[in-house]
Structure 1
Amino acid sequence: MNFASFDLNLLRILDAVLATGSTTEAANRVGLSQPAVSAALSRLRHALDDPILVRQGRRMVPTDYATALHGPLRRVLDETEAMLTGPAAFDPKTAKATFKISGADFFAELLMPDLADICLREAPGVVLQLVELVPDSYVSSLERYQADMALIPAEPMPDYISEQFLFHSSFVPIARKGHPRLKRLSPGDTIPIDLFCDLGHVLFSPEGKLAAMGDSALAKVGRSRRVVMTLPVFHGVLSTVARSDLIALLPHQLAKAQAAKMGFDIYEAPMPVAPSKLVNIWHSRADNNPAHRWLRDQIARLMAPFDDGPG
């Protein structure tokens, strides 16, 4: 490729195409028409001597070469934007800003009400939007929903993603009050492992998976449980447990907050379950954005009291 004659404007389009896998969605993202993006993609294919996107069934997927380009390209664009924009002053009382936060409905219950109160008092011009996570790809939540940050369980991340620790969460079994098979136990007691494995479980899983952390913990002691239902939101799990004889293994903070209101009891699991580490992630381009940093700090401060794991 002759870099001297390469149109650098194509890099933004390449980034959008790789992020969305669609010329139509890429066009919406960069503010061009779909034919213009298709023409740009044709020029990129010629300049890079690579198809960039290839058809796989009904969808388009990036080639291995294009996939390898995306991370470095994202970093270059982020650094360029930061260089040209630079930090600006942020006054919460006068700022007008909208933030999109991606996270499970756990945070709708335990974060957003208090965060709303802070914004109403300290930053009345700030608008908050909580949107769902992309199943199986937390980083994609930032891309697909153009979210400013995502609140997720910690996992390895690309080097263009920044993260901030929020809290550790342990897990506890919950069951409806008066559950006929738990009447010999008191809230806070450990459910015997044979009974725990025999009872029907409802599992929180946006992806519809039939196994999670509890199953890994059971496997370590040579046991397995009976998952009979999965639900994509925590509120659905809580409601189902409160109105049936199914039980669930849930973050203890959510269980404690909802137990009295929804009518279920909290017990102890019969096997060790490692606490989950929750973090806030965002594109590193926002590291020095004062408004973004202000919101990150509010979230971290509100979530810190929930920590119940290792330091």
Structure 2
Amino acid sequence: MNFATFDLNLMRVLDALLREQSTVKAAQKLNLSQSAVSSALSRLRHTLDDQLFIRRGNRLVPTDYAQKIALPLREELDRLEALFAQPKSFDPSAEHMDFRIAASDFFAELLMPVLANDMASAAPNIQPKLIDLVPDRYIQTVEQGSSDLALIPDETVGNWAEKEFLFHSAFAVIARRNHPALQKANIKAGELMPLDLFCALRHALFSPEGNSSAMGDAALAKLGRTRKVGMTLQVFSGVCRVVSESDMIALIPWQLGQKWADQMQLDIFVPPMHVPVVKIVGVWHKRSTNNPAHRWVREQIFAEMKKLDAIQPDLSAWPQAGA
């Protein structure tokens, strides 16, 4: 390739195609016609001597070469944008962008409705997009640029990333109101669920991967006990719906239980074993730290999420580690 004659505008087209994997969506993102994007792709294939994308149904699947250059290309474009950006005050109302958030449906309930109101008034052309939290790959989606932010349980991240603590998330037991076994045992909402009853009842388990064990099972194992997992679901909303319409019970984040208790006719109970409180963090790529638009959206999300730390049970009477 002769770089002296290479049209640098093609870099933006290639980046959009790698992100969207669709000529239609890439054209919308770049405010170009689909035919212009298709023409640019043809030029890229000729210049780079690679097919770049293979069509699979409605998707363009990147070749190995395209996947290899995707992240470096994104980083170079970010650097060029920062290089030529003029210092000015950021105006969210004038910004046009998508902001992809990798997170579970916990945040569909406790974050996205607030953003729907706040963004509509302050930044009508910034579009938050909640995308699937891919098991074992949520950090990679940030690193590779397919998401702008991940909202996840705290973990070690590479030196390419930044993270910020948002809130603590305790786990509570939920059951449908007037659950026959709980009524028979005279266990009232808010009380500790007896260990024998907890283990005897069938559980609905949140697991995007379809695993049959989670944190609750590790906590039970320390007591030499197990529970009966009746089914797994990939979303918390499904877990709560199953519990509300059956005799199953479940362990879910406390804040989510509070959100859905009245709507789904659920009672909340103290778990009979110590389940560690989870620290939830926001993770993003360092390349975006000083991007004014990214920082502004980040701050809106983080401010809202940090309010959830106030929605916590009094854990002083809950089972503690080693108890």
TM range (shorter): 0.7 to 0.9
Structure 1 residues 298 and 130 mapped into 2: Cα distance closer, same or farther (>3 Å)? closer
Point out where structure 2 has 5 or more consecutive residues left out of the alignment.
316-323
Matched, 1:126 2:123: yes
Amino acid at match of 2:122: G
CA–CA distance in structure 2, aligned partners of residues 48 and 224 of structure 1:
57
CA–CA distance in structure 2, aligned partners of residues 163 and 73 of structure 1:
23
CA–CA distance in structure 2, aligned partners of residues 251 and 281 of structure 1:
20
CA–CA distance in structure 2, aligned partners of residues 133 and 260 of structure 1:
27
The aligned counterpart of 1:302 is 304
Size of the alignment, in residue pairs?
A: 299
CA–CA distance in structure 1, aligned partners of residues 128 and 110 of structure 2:
12
Structure 1 residues 260 and 60 mapped into 2: Cα distance closer, same or farther (>3 Å)? closer
Shift of 1:218: 6.7
Q: Is the 8 A contact 2:13 2:40 kept in 1?
A: yes
Structure 1 residues 161 and 16 mapped into 2: Cα distance closer, same or farther (>3 Å)? farther
CA–CA distance in structure 2, aligned partners of residues 301 and 177 of structure 1:
33
Q: Is the 8 A contact 2:176 2:245 kept in 1?
A: yes
Shift of 1:253: 1.7
Matched, 1:188 2:186: no
Greater CA drift, 69-78 or 153-162: 153-162
Shift of 1:302: 3.3
SS, match of residue 50 in structure 1: coil
Greater CA drift, 102-111 or 29-38: 102-111
Q: Deviations over 1:278-302 (max 9, x none)?
A: 3334565543244543443343233
The aligned counterpart of 1:169 is 169
Q: Could you state the TM-score of these two structures normalised by the residue count of structure 1?
A: 0.73
SS, match of residue 230 in structure 2: strand
CA–CA distance in structure 2, aligned partners of residues 212 and 56 of structure 1:
35
Q: Could you state the TM-score of these two structures normalised by the residue count of structure 2?
A: 0.71
Shift of 1:133: 1.9
Q: Is the 8 A contact 1:134 1:141 kept in 2?
A: no
Q: Deviations over 1:206-241 (max 9, x none)?
A: x57354634763796684642336264x44433442
Partner residue of 1:288 out of 287, 290, 297: 290
CA–CA distance in structure 1, aligned partners of residues 32 and 194 of structure 2:
59
SS, match of residue 132 in structure 1: strand
Listed as ranges, the matches of 1:1-311 within 5 Å are: 1-55=1-55, 59-90=59-90, 95-96=93-94, 102=101, 103-111=103-111, 119=118, 124-127=121-124, 131-136=129-134, 138=138, 149=149, 151-153=151-153, 162-183=162-183, 184=185, 185-186=187-188, 187-192=190-195, 195-204=197-206, 209=210, 211=212, 213-214=214-215, 217=218, 223=226, 225-228=228-231, 230=233, 232=235, 234-259=236-261, 262-270=264-272, 272-282=274-284, 286-290=288-292, 292-307=294-309
Q: Is the 8 A contact 2:216 2:275 kept in 1?
A: no
Greater CA drift, 241-250 or 124-133: 124-133
Q: Is the 8 A contact 2:210 2:234 kept in 1?
A: no
CA–CA distance in structure 1, aligned partners of residues 33 and 132 of structure 2:
26
Cα root mean square deviation, aligned: 4.1
Structure 1 residues 238 and 33 mapped into 2: Cα distance closer, same or farther (>3 Å)? same
Q: Is the 8 A contact 2:198 2:227 kept in 1?
A: no
CA–CA distance in structure 1, aligned partners of residues 17 and 67 of structure 2:
11
Shift of 1:53: 1.9
Q: Identity percentage over the alignment? A: 45
Structure 1 residues 297 and 31 mapped into 2: Cα distance closer, same or farther (>3 Å)? closer
Point out where structure 1 has 5 or more consecutive residues left out of the alignment.
none
